[in-house]
């Protein structure tokens, strides 16, 4: 009987403990949430920021050597795919090179003390300008290189079937339109960012633009 009573009391205590609600956690503030997400999104390992550009350039070179040395139409198509993958990788590398780590940069901006509303606005708009710039330059270089590549494949390649030439010319024309649009079209955020930089970090991969920014002598 005592055993049954002890078991009953223990079971009741466990049931009561399970029904007691846990203390409510205090919700994170917006700043604390941003700090948490910044740490979560920050890469654990730092890699060479040129790795995509290097690997893409290698694939690009292999594709060109293969394309211009083979007589097989099938292999030409395959090597043309390698060329395209290499150029896309280079464009992605350029994007990574310029794109800022948004969460960390915004957190750094908000962490500054005694910042005026104008300074905060300037930092935020400039950050958006850097992001827009990274997208535009990646698209500009990718489409420009693809235009050049497809033109070379069509006119400089030997024994290229006419149907394949027509495909290259079509793809080259499409990319030429995209490159032209990217060259002459700049977002308001990017224009603001460039106009407020004493020494803009344009980098090695930037083509001249309507703002008068020219090629840099070296990497940032």
Nearest Cα to 105, choosing from 134, 86, 131, 144? 131
Position 149 pLDDT exceeds 80: yes
- CA 136 from centre of chain: 11
189: CB partners within 8 A, 6+ apart:
125, 128, 129, 131, 132
Look at residue 132 in the predicted model and tell me its pLDDT.
92
Mean pLDDT within 61-73? 92
Condensed to tens digits (0 to 9), the pLDDT of residues 72-114 reads 889 999 999 999 999 999 999 999 888 887 777 777 777 777 7
Position 50 pLDDT exceeds 80: yes
Look at residue 143 in the predicted model and tell me its pLDDT.
96
Higher pLDDT, 113 or 182: 182
Look at residue 178 in the predicted model and tell me its pLDDT.
95
Separation between Cα atoms, residue 120 and residue 101, nearest integer Å = 17
Separation between Cα atoms, residue 11 and residue 8, nearest integer Å = 5
Position 139 pLDDT exceeds 50: yes
Report which listed range, 12-16, 81-85, 214-218, is most confident.
81-85
Domain boundaries, the chain: 48-220
pLDDT band at 123 (very low <50, low <70, confident <90, very high): confident
Separation between Cα atoms, residue 219 and residue 106, nearest integer Å = 24
Query: The tokens 């910042």 sit on which residue?
Result: 115
C-beta of residue 82 within 8 angstroms of C-beta of residue 62:
yes
Alpha helices in 99-156 (DSSP H): 102-111, 117-155
Mean pLDDT within 19-41? 65
Here the tokens at position 60 are: 């690009």
């Amino acid at each position: 009987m005592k055993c049954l009573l002890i078991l009953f009391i223990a079971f009741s205590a466990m049931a009561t403990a399970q029904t007691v609600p846990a203390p409510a956690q205090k919700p994170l503030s917006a700043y604390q949430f941003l700090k948490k997400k910044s740490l979560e999104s920050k890469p654990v390992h730092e890699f060479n920021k040129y790795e995509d550009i290097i690997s893409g350039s290698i694939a690009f070179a292999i594709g060109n050597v293969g394309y211009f040395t083979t007589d097989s139409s099938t292999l030409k198509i395959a090597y043309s795919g390698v060329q395209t993958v290499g150029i896309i990788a280079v464009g992605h590398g350029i994007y990574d090179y310029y794109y800022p780590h948004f969460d960390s940069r915004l957190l750094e901006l908000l962490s500054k003390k005694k910042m005026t509303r104008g300074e905060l606005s300037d930092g935020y708009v400039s950050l958006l300008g850097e992001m827009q710039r990274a997208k535009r330059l990646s698209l500009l270089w990718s489409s420009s290189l693809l235009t050049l590549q497809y033109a070379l494949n069509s006119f400089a390649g030997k024994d290229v079937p006419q149907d394949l030439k027509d495909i290259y010319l079509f793809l080259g024309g499409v990319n030429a339109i995209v490159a032209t649009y990217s060259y002459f079209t700049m977002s308001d955020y990017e224009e603001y960012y460039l106009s407020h930089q004493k020494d803009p970090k344009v980098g090695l991969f930037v083509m001249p633009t309507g703002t008068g920014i020219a090629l840099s002598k070296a990497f940032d």
